[in-house]
């Protein structure tokens, strides 16, 4: 008594097996490709999650939203003071008085890239 398994030649069974493996691989790669495209589409106009500027989280925001958020959060923050020393004399000077400033536009552009 022969079974159906024995009636199909080994070569055909092997080709079916390879075809099954090939199909699973193609489906897996297709799924990964679609997931990658969806991820990129979601972040096409947004800063990637987990990015922060001066401790302020700007992830998932557009550059314009991030700039507004940063200006709101950092409006009261003062730039650090600098101690200048020459010999025995020292001066405590604000960074702003030396021309220092926060270039938030540039920071947001770097975070977005």
Question: What percent of the chain shows pLDDT beyond 90?
Answer: 52
Predicted TM-score (pTM) above 0.95: no
Q: What is the pLDDT of residue 76?
A: 67
Contacts of 70 (CB under 8 A, 6+ apart): 53, 54, 56, 58, 104, 107, 108
Q: What is the pLDDT of residue 3?
A: 56
In angstroms, the CA 73 to CA 58 distance is 11
Q: What is the pLDDT along the chain (113 residues), one digit of tens a residue?
A: 555 556 888 888 899 999 999 999 999 999 999 999 988 887 778 998 899 998 899 999 999 999 999 988 887 667 788 899 999 999 999 888 888 888 899 999 999 88
Q: How many CB atoms lie within 10 A of CB 43?
A: 14
| Helix H or strand E encompassing 39 | helix 10-42
Condensed to tens digits (0 to 9), the pLDDT of residues 69-80 reads 998 888 766 778
């Amino acid at each position: 008594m022969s079974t159906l398994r024995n009636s199909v030649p080994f070569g055909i069974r092997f080709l079916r097996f390879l075809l099954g493996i090939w199909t699973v691989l193609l489906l897996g790669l297709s799924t990964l490709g679609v997931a990658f495209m969806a991820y990129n589409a979601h972040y096409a106009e947004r800063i990637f999650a987990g990015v922060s500027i001066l401790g302020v989280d700007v992830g998932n925001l557009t550059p314009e939203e991030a700039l507004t958020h940063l200006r709101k959060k950092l409006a009261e923050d003062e730039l650090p003071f600098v101690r200048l020393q020459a010999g025995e004399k020292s001066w405590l000077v604000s960074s702003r008085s030396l021309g220092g400033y926060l270039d938030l536009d540039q920071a947001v552009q770097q975070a977005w890239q």
